[in-house]
C-alpha cells in the first residue's frame, strides 16, 4: 500500500493514469460520444455527405473534426478507433507476453542443452524483420483465388479475427519477454527457497508457478505496459505503408495523406486530415510508456524503498 501511495504521489504516474484512463473512458462511452447509425452493429466509420466527394471538408456542426476524402467523419472514427486500438494493443501484448514468459521460464528452469537450444531459436526470431513477416503471412493467408475454399487453418484465423499484422506481431514480439524471464529464472532457481521447495518434493510446475514466476515477472509487466502503445503505433505504420492492418486511426491517415501538404505547401491548410489521428497515436503511445516507467519504479525492489 505504501508503494502504491508513492506511485500515485508522482506527477508523471498521475499523468500516465490520466492519459490511459481517458482512452479507456472514451472506448467505453463511444456509443454516447459518437452515436452509430446501427446501435446493434456499429461501424467504426461514418460517411457525412457524399462519398464520391474527394475534397476534405473542415470542421462543422455535422463533423466536429472535419472529414477526409470520401467524407469520412474524423471525430467519429477517432472515437470508435479507440476501442480497436485498446483491443489490438492488449490482445497482442498479453498474447506475446504469455508466450514469451512461458518459453523463458521453462527453458531457464531446465537449463542445459534445452535452454541453449531455445535461446538460439529466440535469437533467430529476433533477427527476422517484422515487416517481412507481415508480407509473408499476408501472402500465406491470402486465398489462391477469390473462388477458392479457405483451408481449415485460414478459417480458424479468420474466426479469431487474426489478420496478418496481428499474427506477425504475436509471432515476432515474444522474444524480449522470453529473454527477460529466462535470465531471471536462471538466477532465482539457485536461491535457498527454491532449493528448499525441491528438497521437500515440490513438482517442477509448482516451483515455476508458485516460487519462480511471481518473483521474476516484474520486468515483463513493465515491458508489457510499454508494448501496448507500441503495438498500436506499429499497426498504424503498417496500415499507412499499405502492408495490411485495420486500425481506424491508420486508415484516417492513409485516406488523407494526399492533403497533408495543402495549397502553397502549407501543412495547416487541411490540418484535420492528419493532426487529430496523429495526436491520438502519439498520446496513446506516451500514456502507456509513462505507465510502464511508473510500474518499473513501483515493482523494482531497488527503487521501491
pLDDT class for 136, splitting at 50, 70, 90? confident
- The candidate with the shortest Cα–Cα distance to 223, out of 166, 276, 176, 172, is 176
Range name among 105-119, 140-154, 206-220 with the lowest pLDDT average = 140-154
How far lies 74's CA from each of 16, 37, 168, 249, in Å?
Answer: 25, 16, 28, 9
| Topology of domain 2-131+162-299, CATH | MetI-like fold (1.10.3720)
Write down the mean pLDDT value for the chain. Answer: 85
* Over residues 227-254, mean pLDDT: 87
- The candidate with the shortest Cα–Cα distance to 109, out of 197, 207, 193, 221, is 207
* Over residues 108-125, mean pLDDT: 91
Specify the pLDDT at position 150.
Answer: 64
Specify the pLDDT at position 14.
Answer: 92
Q: Per residue in 13-59, pLDDT tens?
A: 899 999 999 999 999 999 999 998 888 888 888 888 888 888 899 99
Specify the pLDDT at position 155.
Answer: 66
pLDDT class for 159, splitting at 50, 70, 90? low
Specify the pLDDT at position 225.
Answer: 92
What are residue 301's phi and psi, to 5 degrees?
-60, -25
Residue-by-residue DSSP string for the chain: -HHHHHHHTSHHHHHHHHHHHHHHHHHHTHHHHS--S-SSS--S--B-S-TT--S-----SSSTT-EETTTEEHHHHHHHHHHHHHHHHHHHHHHHHHHHHHHHHHHHHH-HHHHHHHHHHHHHHHHS-HHHHHHHHHHHHS-SSTTSPPPHHHHHHHHTT--HHHHHHHHTSSHHHHHHHHHHHHHHTTSHHHHHHHHTT--HHHIIIIIIHHHH-HHHHHHHHHHHHHHHHHHHHHHHHTS----HHHHHHHHHGGGSS-GGG-TTTTGGGTHHHHHHHHHHHHHHHHHHHHHHHHH-TTT--
- The candidate with the shortest Cα–Cα distance to 158, out of 143, 136, 179, is 143
Q: Which three cell numbers stand for residue 42?
A: 456499429
Is residue 144's pLDDT more than 60?
A: no
- pTM of the full predicted structure? 0.86
CA atoms of 162 and 72, how far apart (whole Å): 25
Q: Which three cell numbers stand for residue 58?
A: 473542415
Is residue 95's pLDDT more than 90?
A: yes
Specify the pLDDT at position 210.
Answer: 85
pLDDT class for 295, splitting at 50, 70, 90? confident
- The candidate with the shortest Cα–Cα distance to 30, out of 75, 80, 65, 74, is 80
Specify the pLDDT at position 137.
Answer: 73
Note whether 237 and 223 are within 8 A (CB): no
Domain positions in the chain are 2-131+162-299
**Percentage of the chain modeled with pLDDT above 70:** 88
Specify the pLDDT at position 141.
Answer: 65
**Percentage of the chain modeled with pLDDT above 90:** 40
Is residue 303's pLDDT more than 60?
A: no
Amino acid at each position: 500500500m505504501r508503494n502504491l501511495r508513492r506511485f500515485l504521489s508522482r506527477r508523471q504516474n498521475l499523468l500516465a493514469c490520466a492519459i490511459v484512463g481517458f482512452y479507456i473512458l472514451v472506448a467505453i462511452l463511444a456509443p454516447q460520444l459518437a452515436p452509430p447509425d446501427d446501435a446493434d452493429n456499429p461501424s467504426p466509420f461514418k460517411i457525412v455527405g457524399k462519398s464520391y466527394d474527394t475534397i476534405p471538408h473542415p470542421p462543422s456542426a455535422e463533423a466536429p473534426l472535419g472529414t477526409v476524402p470520401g467524407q469520412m467523419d474524423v471525430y467519429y472514427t477517432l472515437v470508435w478507433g479507440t476501442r480497436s486500438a485498446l483491443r489490438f494493443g492488449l490482445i497482442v501484448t498479453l498474447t506475446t507476453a504469455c508466450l514469451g514468459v512461458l518459453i523463458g521460464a521453462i527453458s531457464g528452469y531446465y537449463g542445459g542443452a534445452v535452454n541453449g537450444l531455445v535461446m538460439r531459436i529466440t535469437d533467430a526470431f529476433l533477427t527476422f524483420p517484422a515487416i517481412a513477416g507481415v508480407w509473408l503471412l499476408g501472402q500465406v493467408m491470402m486465398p489462391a483465388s477469390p473462388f477458392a475454399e479457405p483451408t481449415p487453418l485460414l478459417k480458424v484465423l479468420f474466426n479469431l479475427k487474426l489478420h496478418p499484422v496481428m499474427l506477425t506481431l504475436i509471432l515476432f514480439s515474444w522474444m524480449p519477454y522470453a529473454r527477460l524471464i529466462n535470465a531471471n529464472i536462471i538466477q532465482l532457481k539457485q536461491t535457498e527457497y527454491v532449493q528448499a521447495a525441491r528438497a521437500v518434493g515440490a513438482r517442477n510446475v509448482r516451483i515455476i508457478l508458485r516460487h519462480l514466476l511471481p518473483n521474476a515477472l516484474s520486468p515483463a509487466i513493465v515491458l508489457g505496459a510499454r508494448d501496448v502503445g507500441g503495438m498500436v503505433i506499429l499497426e498504424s505504420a503498417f496500415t499507412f505503408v499499405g502492408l495490411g492492418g485495420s486500425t481506424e486511426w491508420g486508415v484516417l491517415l492513409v485516406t488523407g495523406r494526399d492533403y497533408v501538404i495543402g495549397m502553397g505547401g502549407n501543412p495547416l491548410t487541411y490540418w484535420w486530415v492528419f493532426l487529430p489521428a496523429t495526436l491520438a497515436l502519439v498520446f496513446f503511445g506516451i500514456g502507456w510508456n509513462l505507465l510502464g516507467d511508473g510500474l518499473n519504479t513501483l515493482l523494482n525492489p531497488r527503487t521501491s524503498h
